């Protein structure tokens, strides 16, 4: 049963609608305007409540601003009492409102990150309490509504000056840390009460943390509690620990899913708190973007942590992440979206531009993978440039963009094009080839539609985990660091064959490419071929599947006459890619941004640097998918020919 069917059955049965990580958490990047602005991140704060945490990325000496009550703010890097302020003045049903021009939240031209945590059982809760006179109980019990045992608690007095106190399940109730310092965790008997936190309350040793007649707030995070996804059994947050080894091949942490947000602290060494997310930069083989909850510093970058399909791996000798034999705690939040898309405009867009560098282009969603190509010139460094967030597509134009080119066997490099300033809703035109007419095909990772996986080759047959949630029907794989063909798997041609994205070649036998094994809903298999699993290689894989009403991966047999391809759409295809498999043929691409109409339709070739061809009418509109005309050449519609396609509604 697919996820869409499961959701429909649950709704018909009157069950509670599923909750997904995208409903309760958001990393939203914005630029200050020196006035007021509304952040629309899709999180219902007015109806549910929660916490908004903001930090300037570009300006140093700026505080972290934490708001759980509009008009109030705490600062994680300071001991200050709660401040009455207009910084975040309102919680909305789809985000929050900033009513302040200060440097730490909305200075004109400065860049900022915001993290929103909505109150939700088995994810996050906000609890307040007040001490009385003679607050000395070693086991003051505080009720909460987390619905599970807390994995992490951040405790702060709001009415006077004091440290932030941190409970973490891996350190236990006899230890505490301070969010605002680099200090090691302190051992104090019964620091968090005489018994462990439960699913309904947690303990506070008032003698250790509290003073008389003061008000406190506690932010509670769950650990591996389930409650999310179509089944209601998926977890979206985990709190754990690892032991460092001081090596660039550091420990691997298994979460069961890929994280999008990660906070780390060494509890037995004096080190900063480290905060990384995939909107600013949490990449494989590149630089991560880091902010420190205990510091007012601007964002820094470095190679520290690698996300994996099932967790993360440390890849630094920095003692703030991976001191040899050191104990480190973490909290990780699952990457979304978790919900299978039903609207293709939320996960795919085709955009054209000939604007200057920095021209903003709106997709309406955060891009995870992009192919850009010029339309009018034959520039090899401006054709088929492929970037993705996982390899380090940048949320700032100061970071390196790593390109792979669909027409080339070359390893990835920093030359050529690639969009910059990837944001929550689009990107900016790159400096090259700015002013050229360029088309951008933008994809968002989503269950049942598209996934991206970075992995390291071994030279031996192995499986690679993915998060597509269904078996991929089309996989496009490229080595990042060695010269090699693009390897393409198609369910239509079988698991013992392959195609090459960079050539016109027909499908060929290659048992060692996929180890003659079809992919599943959780893994795909690579064999001994260097194009998919060289022992010295690093790889990126793009996985596609048929998602009802959104995308279709399919095949057809040519007729030489007009041929309608039914993809199950209602308003036609906005993107069509076609390749002949039984004979030579180019990789053709059409899109609605350049025109899929009743007349001539411009096309580009992924395997070529040739300019766009505009004077042909090979693909036409068809409400259920697309139509191939009788005038199409043999590479698209030969009688008896075999073809594969990828289309997006």
Tokens coding 265:
């602290």
Q: Is pLDDT larger for residue 464 or for residue 287?
A: 464
* Rounded Cα–Cα distance for residues 602 and 37 (Å): 40
Give the mean pLDDT of 287-305.
97
- The helix/strand/coil state of 66 is strand
| DSSP secondary structure of 262-283 | EEEEESSS----EEEETTT---
DSSP strand pairing (274-277 vs 237-243)? unpaired
44-83 pLDDT per residue, tens: 999 999 999 999 999 999 999 999 999 999 999 999 999 9
Query: What are the phi and psi torsion angles at 347 (to 5°)?
Result: -130, -5
Residue 415 has pLDDT above 80, yes or no: no
Residue 396 has pLDDT above 60, yes or no: no
| DSSP secondary structure of 472-524 | -SEEEEEESSS--PPEEEETTT-TTEEEETTS-PPPEE-TTTTTT----SSEE
Which residue in the block uniquely carries the two structure tokens 């869409």?
4
Give the mean pLDDT of 623-645.
97
pLDDT of res. 434? 61
pLDDT tier at 376, thresholds 50, 70, 90: confident
Tokens coding 213:
């007649």
Alpha-carbon distance values, 198 to 52, 374, 577 (Å): 25, 58, 54
Q: If you count them, how many residues does the chain have?
A: 649
pLDDT tier at 11, thresholds 50, 70, 90: very low
Tokens coding 523:
């893994």
583-597 pLDDT per residue, tens: 999 999 999 999 999
Tokens coding 512:
């060692």
Q: Is pLDDT larger for residue 398 or for residue 587?
A: 587
- Note whether 482 and 537 are within 8 A (CB): yes
- Note whether 166 and 178 are within 8 A (CB): yes
Closest to 422 measured CA to CA, from 470, 506, 360: 360
Give the mean pLDDT of 551-563.
98
Tokens coding 235:
């977890």
* Rounded Cα–Cα distance for residues 51 and 53 (Å): 6
Domain residue spans in the chain? 17-118, 124-222, 237-334, 344-443, 450-544, 551-648
| Residue 337 preceded by cis peptide, ω within 30 | yes
Return the DSSP state at 411: P
- Note whether 24 and 337 are within 8 A (CB): no
Alpha-carbon distance values, 222 to 59, 141, 180, 228, 238 (Å): 32, 18, 21, 12, 7
Alpha-carbon distance values, 43 to 90, 205, 339, 626 (Å): 13, 34, 15, 36
Closest to 171 measured CA to CA, from 271, 268, 275: 268
Beta strands (DSSP E) in 295-400 are: 300-302, 305-308, 311-314, 327-334, 348-353, 360-362, 369-374, 385-388
454-502 pLDDT per residue, tens: 999 999 999 999 999 999 999 999 999 999 999 999 999 999 999 999 9
* Rounded Cα–Cα distance for residues 500 and 489 (Å): 9
Give CA 466 to chain center in angstroms.
Answer: 13
b/e sequence 387-423, b meaning 16+ C-beta within 10 Å:
bbbbbbbbbbeebebbbbbbbbbbbbeeebbbbbbbb
Q: Is pLDDT larger for residue 305 or for residue 353?
A: 305
């Amino acid at each position: 049963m697919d996820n869409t069917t499961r959701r429909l059955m649950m709704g018909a049965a009157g069950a509670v609608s599923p909750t997904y990580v995208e409903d309760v958490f958001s990393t939203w990047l914005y630029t200050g305007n020196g006035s007021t602005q509304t952040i629309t991140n899709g999180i219902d704060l007015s109806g549910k409540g929660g916490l908004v945490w903001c930090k300037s990325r570009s300006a140093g000496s700026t505080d972290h601003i934490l708001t759980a009550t509009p008009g109030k703010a705490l600062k994680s890097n300071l001991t200050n009492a709660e401040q009455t302020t207009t910084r975040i003045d309102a919680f909305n049903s789809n985000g929050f409102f900033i009513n302040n021009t200060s440097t730490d939240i909305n200075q004109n031209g400065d860049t900022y990150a915001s993290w929103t945590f909505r109150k939700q059982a088995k994810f996050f809760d906000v609890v307040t309490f007040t001490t009385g006179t003679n607050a000395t109980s070693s086991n003051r019990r505080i009720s909460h509504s987390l619905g599970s045992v807390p994995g992490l608690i951040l405790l702060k007095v709001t009415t006077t000056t004091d440290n932030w106190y941190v409970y973490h399940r891996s350190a236990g109730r006899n230890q505490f840390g301070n969010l605002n310092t680099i200090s090691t965790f302190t051992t104090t008997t019964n620091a968090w009460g005489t018994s462990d936190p439960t699913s309904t309350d947690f303990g506070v040793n008032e003698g250790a943390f509290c003073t008389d007649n003061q008000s406190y707030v506690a932010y509670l995070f769950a650990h591996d509690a389930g409650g999310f996804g179509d089944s209601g059994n998926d977890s979206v947050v985990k709190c754990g620990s690892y032991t460092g080894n001081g090596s660039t091949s550091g420990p691997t942490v298994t979460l069961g899913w890929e994280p999008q947000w990660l906070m780390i602290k060494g509890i037995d060494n004096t080190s900063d708190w480290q905060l990384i997310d995939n909107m600013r930069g949490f990449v494989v083989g590149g630089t991560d973007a880091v902010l420190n909850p205990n510091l007012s510093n601007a964002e820094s970058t470095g190679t520290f942590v690698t996300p994996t399909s099932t967790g993360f791996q440390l890849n630094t000798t920095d003692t703030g992440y991976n001191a040899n034999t050191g104990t480190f705690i973490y909290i990780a939040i699952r990457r979304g979206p978790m919900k299978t898309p039903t609207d293709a405009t939320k996960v795919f867009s085709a955009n054209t531009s000939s604007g200057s560098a920095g021209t903003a282009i709106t997709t309406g969603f955060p891009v995870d993978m992009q192919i850009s190509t010029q339309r009018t010139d034959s520039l090899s460094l401006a054709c088929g440039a492929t970037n993705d967030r996982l390899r380090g597509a940048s949320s700032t134009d100061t970071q390196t963009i790593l390109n792979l080119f669909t027409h080339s066997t070359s390893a990835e490099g920093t030359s050529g094009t690639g969009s910059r300033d990837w944001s929550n809703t689009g990107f900016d035109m790159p400096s090259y080839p700015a002013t050229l007419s360029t088309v951008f095909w933008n994809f968002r990772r989503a269950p049942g539609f598209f996934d991206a996986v970075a992995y390291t080759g071994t030279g031996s047959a192995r499986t690679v985990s993915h998060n597509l949630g269904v078996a991929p029907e089309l996989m496009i794989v490229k080595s990042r660091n060695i010269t090699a063909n693009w390897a393409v798997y198609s369910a239509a041609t079988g698991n013992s064959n392959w195609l090459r994205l960079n050539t016109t070649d027909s499908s060929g036998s290659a048992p060692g490419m996929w180890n003659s094994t079809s992919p599943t809903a959780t893994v795909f298999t690579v064999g001994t071929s260097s194009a998919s699993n060289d022992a010295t290689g690093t790889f990126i894989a793009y996985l596609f599947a048929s998602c009802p009403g959104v995308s279709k991966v399919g095949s057809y047999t040519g007729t030489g006459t007009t041929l309608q391809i039914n993809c199950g759409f209602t308003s036609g295809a906005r993107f069509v890619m076609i390749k002949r498999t039984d004979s030579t043929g180019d990789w053709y691409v059409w899109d609605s941004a350049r025109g899929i109409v009743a007349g001539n339709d411009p096309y580009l070739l992924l395997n070529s640097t040739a300019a766009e061809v505009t004077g042909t009418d090979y693909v036409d509109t068809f409400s259920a998918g697309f139509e191939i005309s009788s005038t199409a050449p043999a590479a698209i519609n030969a009688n008896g020919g075999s073809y594969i396609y990828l289309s997006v509604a």
